[in-house]
A and B are shown apart, each in its own frame.
Chain A
Amino acid sequence: MQTPLQALVRSQSFGAVIGVVLMLAVFSIVDFSGWWRSQTLANVAHFSAILGLVAMGQALVIITKEIDLSVGSVYGLTGVAFITFEPQYGVGGAIILALLIAALVGAVQGLLVVKGKLPSMIVTLGGLFAARGLIYVWTGGSVNNFSQAARINPLTRLFGGELFGIEAAIFWMIGLCIALNIMLWGTRFGNRLLATGGAQDSAESRGVRSDHVKIATFTLCALLAGFAGIVTLADKPQTHVTLGDLMELEAIAAAVIGGCLLSGGRGSLVGAVLGAFIITSFRYELIALGAPSSWFITFVGVVLIVAVIFNQSLARRAGHSV
């Protein structure tokens, strides 16, 4: 019987937990009064939640030994679709249509990867450009405004409002994180997803349709990215065609920092959220400490390499071949 501490150490998000603890310790030492302000924590938690939603989808795809470079563009395309469809179909109709677009992009990419036997990096790179290009063509360079009536619509407030002074995005992220963890660790589909990434041949020999699993995972990943786009714009509808620009890289970084191995079969959704928290926190704190904001990119690079080394060593200790 494992103690909770032993379970934590053996968990796939252990690296991210260590990262968060270290980070909080350092921030407390160098900027206690600035970091532990309610305003700081609320801002960091809000943006971590948005990136966390995208990172969870990315983590699922990485667990299946694939990658999705299109999530930033899908996040942007879905958000833009939500705002553009609203005058014609109302808030509810616009949300459904926008999510359908996201699901379609994800499903098409998944189909191309498994049926076309194409590398997911190339397919989703194409998806990244195609979705971004669609945004430019569709909007002509400027995203429409979101009417005052739509801003106060109950559905808009449900996705983008606040509850007890806490942003709705945080509740959505927590709720979805719980649901997706139950799916991953407690359902047959989750088991097949882990098996597909861990040892695809072995899984297929036991009747797992890895092609179906991968298509469903790409669709789920795109849906999560699209949902994050809607949650973002329901809260702050003043946007631009650059919505989600380079977000795919932060999402991948968050998933990897959170314990996902690109070799597949191993990863953690909680870890991906913690990875998003680490990335957002460092961006915030570096600027608060007066560092040029461009340093953040350097930081992400360094943390990413450290995280990969640490997570790989943890995986080897757990008997995972990497």
Chain B
Amino acid sequence: MTFKGWILAATALATTALTATLPDAAMAQDGEKLRFVVVSHIGSNDPNMNWLTMAMEEFGKKYPDVEAEYISTNNYSIQEHVRLLEQAIATRPDGIAVPIVSPDAFEGPLRRAIESGIPVVAFNIADGRPEGERIPYVTYVGGDELLTGRKLGEYALSQVEAGVVPAPTRVVCASHDSAHEGLKKRCAGMREVMEASGAKFDELFIGAEPATARNTLQSYLSANTDTNYIFTVAGWSAPWAWGVANEMGLSPDVDMEGVTVLTVDEGPVSIEGVRQGHVLATNSQGFWLQGYAPLEWLYWNVKHGYAPQQDILTGPIIITKENADKWSDLVRSVFGEEAYNQQNTW
């Protein structure tokens, strides 16, 4: 064998060895890049999109043989989301990751996609129906929204027992999107726990427009003076709720008086709300993992036929006064110091 032949043989051997041992060096069988599409309702109107897109960048580094696209709605519209989904399916991607914001609306397009051989991974919001009835996606990666409401409620009750906050008499779940299945489940989880403790519970659609939301919430609080817990199902609406209660003299900070505010998300507003004593607790649903893991499961499914036997939960993790400092450090390291401070609107 000539010297050139030795070099070629050694290169071929090394390439084979690397391909066999390192998944990140694997290439699609036909030599073309795989194309996965994430069709999300978390758009540029939602700061949580940063978590997902940053996680996708990391995925891109590890799997250079995959082209992952992120498309999203920028308003709270299921119709718009379905339209984007159908557009994505029409481009025949190798895999789709999508939150099941509305099982009814998504069922048709997703079943057609799956039947035509496109694997689907649900993320962020699962199809909440029983196993045999739900859309037959590969798996679900995300938080459990019912559990989010339930665990936050249970934490609140533990703080009632500890003498930190008053016992709930009436709880209002303030939602900005009345059709969002995940938000409804957050409210339902909280309702379950709070009603069991003897408190009354209402769901209130406040809308996403700040002035309208404040107007609506103030009206509700004026008419239901026994309300002493507000659960906002978006982190950015927590300061609005706190502000309305504060203006009404309802003492909304975390203490034994007046109103107690609970919220969601691991964004700067939610975490700083907890740290500054405005909010009792918030949660993390592992947003970063929700941007990364669905794509990895799509990859493993396409390449190796893997499918997990049950849903993969990335949350909820309850963020309280005890662990909020660590969360603050973590989020600062992801968002950057300046962005973190700018997004803290308290």
Contacts and interface: CB of A to CB of B under 8 A. Distances in A.
Contacts, number: 119
A245 B75 CA distance: 9
Given A40-B222, A287-B223, A140 B216 contact: no
Interface in A240-299: 240-247, 280, 283-285, 287-290, 292-294
B47 A238 contact: no
Contacts of B45: 136, 141, 240-242
Given A136-B43, A141-B45, A294-B178, A232 B218 contact: no
B255 to A, nearest CB: 21
Nearest to B248: A39
Interface string B167-186: 00000000010100000000
Interface in B29-57: 43-50
A245 B344 contact: no
Interface in B93-138: none
Interface stretch (A101-109, A143-151, A181-189, A194-202): A143-151
A145 B340 CA distance: 10
A132 to B, nearest CB: 7
Nearest to B175: A293
A142 B222 contact: no
B240 A238 contact: yes
Nearest to A37: B222
B179 to A, nearest CB: 10
B343 interface: yes
Contacts of A143: 345
B201 interface: no
A40 B215 CA distance: 10
Given A141-B46, A146-B345, A288-B223, A50 B211 contact: yes
Given A136-B44, A144-B342, A238 B219 contact: no
B302 to A, nearest CB: 31
Interface residues of A, number: 42
Contacts of B239: 238
Interface in B236-264: 236-237, 239-240, 243, 248
A141 B345 contact: no
B199 interface: no
Interface in B317-346: 341-346
A206 B176 CA distance: 52
A140 B218 CA distance: 29
Given A140-B47, A238-B345, A293 B214 contact: no
A194 to B, nearest CB: 31
A145 B208 contact: no
A39 B222 contact: yes
Contacts of B47: 140-142
A242 B210 contact: yes
A293 B177 CA distance: 12
Given A242-B210, A246-B209, A43 B215 contact: yes
A280 B220 CA distance: 14
A287 B343 contact: no
Interface string A172-213: 000000000000000000000000000000000000000000
Interface string A45-64: 00100100000000000000
Contact of B208 (A245, A292, A294): A245
A237 B345 contact: yes
Contacts of B267: 142
Interface string B7-45: 000000000000000000000000000000000000111
Interface residues of B, number: 43
Interface in A128-162: 132-133, 136-137, 140-146
B205 A293 contact: yes
B46 to A, nearest CB: 5
A152 to B, nearest CB: 15
Contact of B210 (A144, A146, A243): A243
B246 to A, nearest CB: 11
B74 A132 contact: yes
A19 interface: no
Given A43-B219, A141-B49, A287-B223, A240 B343 contact: no
A247 B209 contact: yes
A136 B45 CA distance: 6
B219 A240 contact: no
B264 to A, nearest CB: 15
B243 A242 contact: no
A232 B214 CA distance: 11
B204 interface: yes
A39 B236 CA distance: 25
Given A238-B243, A283-B219, A136 B74 contact: yes
B233 interface: no
B44 A140 contact: yes
A280 B346 CA distance: 27
Interface of B: 43-50, 74-75, 176, 178, 204-212, 214-216, 218-220, 222-223, 236-237, 239-240, 243, 248, 267, 269, 341-346
List of 4 A-B pairs having minimum Cβ-Cβ separation, nearest first:
A288-B223, A242-B208, A142-B47, A238-B239
19 contacts: A40-B222, A47-B212, A132-B74, A140-B47, A141-B43, A141-B46, A141-B50, A142-B47, A236-B211, A242-B209, A246-B209, A287-B204, A287-B216, A287-B220, A287-B223, A288-B223, A293-B205, A293-B206, A293-B216
Given A132-B74, A283-B219, 19 more contacts: A40-B219, A43-B218, A47-B212, A142-B267, A144-B342, A144-B345, A145-B344, A146-B345, A236-B210, A236-B214, A237-B345, A240-B236, A242-B45, A242-B209, A284-B219, A287-B204, A287-B216, A293-B205, A293-B206
